[in-house]
Amino acid sequence: MVKTLPEKISVKISKDLFDMIKKQVKMSGGAFISVEEYIEFILLEVIKEEKKVRALTPEEEEKIKERLRKLGYF
């Protein structure tokens, strides 16, 4: 069974940012082999974090307010 690689596309970034990332790749001790790999890793981490942070539902917000009221904050 042949595994197909995900399709890649190009994204433009400033030369200064590319150079900064290139230094990070070199300092990674082999954890990253290219600027592209580093950028993809960082972006995936940011997206994972964004998914963890979400707005409260009105019901969740009310439960929190009620708990705070019981503690004397409201």
Task: Note whether residue 20 is domain-resident.
Answer: no
Domain annotation covers residue 6: no
18 falls within a domain: no
Instruction: Say if residue 74's pLDDT is above 80.
Output: no
Query: What is the rounded CA–CA span in Å between residue 60 and residue 27?
Result: 44
Between 71 and 31, where is the model more confident?
31
Total domains in the chain come to: 1
Q: Is 8 left (phi over 0), alpha (psi -120 to 50) or beta?
A: beta
Model confidence over 16-69: pLDDT tens digits? 999 999 999 999 999 999 999 999 999 999 988 877 777 788 898 899 999 888
* Segments forming the whole domain that contains residue 51: 32-74
